[in-house]
Amino acid sequence: MPAGTMATTTRIEEIHVLWISEGMSCDGDTVSMTAATQPSIEDIVLGLIPGIPKVHLHNKVLAYENGEEFVAAFRQAARGELGPFILVVEGSIPNENINGDGYWTSFGNDENGEPITLNTWLDALAPQAWAVVAAGTCATYGGIHAMAGNPTGCMGLADYLGWNFRSQAGLPIVNVPGCPIQPDNFMETLLWVLREAAGNAPMIPLDEQLRPTWLFGKTVHEGCDRGGYYEQADFGRDYNSPKCQVKIGCWGPVVNCNVPKRGWMKGIGGCPNVGGICIACTMPGFPDKFMPFMDQPPGSTLSATLLSPYGRMIRRLRSITNHTANKEPKWHHNGPELTSGYDLGWRG
């Protein structure tokens, strides 16, 4: 469905958010989400934002319910009895076809007391969901748990459900990568989906990797405060330097992420902003294609070498201009003559 069109003509008044974090995960995305302020999860759940349905959140970290009482909503949804819901998945999806005699991960038990695998839940819930959102790099592209040599054969949600998957509303999977998610990136995305459910927003714009385009359309480098140093070939040699970090392992020039521009919490923080290199945690190829960490990325030596003569020249010329521009014009004086060049005309 093209961007700018409405996913559905039905205006939803009340919706559930079923957040399942039984993927291969550390629950870091849930923890990160609680730090959001634009909007906060409290704003969403308490109905403080106009133009969205009433929201019922089911997240095990934030739930009042325990045990079977908590699982009940998921069981209702699997039976088609819950009403419209958004399925949020946290953690990578293991391959239960290679689990031997056991299972990789589960959530609740069936009528025989046997564990219900995450995959079984996904098979039951995803086709019935109004929208499906993958939270964090593990859920979007597999992440750390899916790296080479892992025993679980795990993958991202789109690899499991299929990249052509469409929800009940006709939406593709919405991927919000990050290890963990940037809090406001996720909540802003969820807010869009909720407004769409209420009939107050067009189809959410996604790129080929199913990421929201307005959040992941630029590189780290394009939003980094250190970018000017790169242009001048002024590179940091250690992590104490405020200068460009490409030569100490930063992947920012090729990574789609807005964290340096947005910060982490209330505009503060973000990896390069606080002296950390970008290790590309929002990218589909993470971590395998970006290892070993803290080494110069391929091409950085060549680009830095080619840039160096130009950068040194520009840096020198700018320093001269800076020195000149830091002096007031010579006609700023309290002498007896006007020396600004003003022409007195006929009065002269």
- Predicted local distance difference test score (pLDDT) of residue 70: 97
Tell me the mean pLDDT per 10 residues along the chain, length 348. 49 97 94 96 96 97 94 97 97 94 94 96 98 98 95 96 97 97 98 97 97 96 88 86 90 93 92 91 94 73 64 75 81 87 73
H/E/C letters for each residue in the chain? Answer: CCCCCCCCCCCCCEEEEEEECCCECCCHHHHHHCCCCCCCHHHHHCCCCCCCCEEEEEECCCCCCCHHHHHHHHHHHHCCCCCCEEEEEECEECCHHHCCCCCCCEEEECCCCCEEEHHHHHHHHHHHCCEEEEECHHHHHCHHHHCCCCCCCCECHHHHHCCCCCCCCCCCCEEECCCCCCHHHHHHHHHHHHHHHCCCCCCCCECCCCCEHHHHCCEHHHHCCCHHHHHCCCECCCCCCCCECHHHCCCHHHCECCHHHHCCECCECCHHHHCCCCCCCCCCCCCHHHCCCCCCCCCHHHHHHHHHHHHHHHHHHHHHHHHHHCCCCCCCCCCCCCCCCCCCHHHC
Q: Specify the pLDDT at position 307.
A: 65
Identify the pLDDT of residue 346: 67
> pTM for the whole thing?
0.86
CATH number for the region 220-290 comes to 4.10.480.10
Give the residue extent of every domain in the chain: 14-215, 220-290
Pick the CATH number of 14-215 from 2.60.40.10, 3.30.450.20, 3.40.1190.10, 3.40.50.700: 3.40.50.700
**Whole-number pLDDT of residue 80:** 96
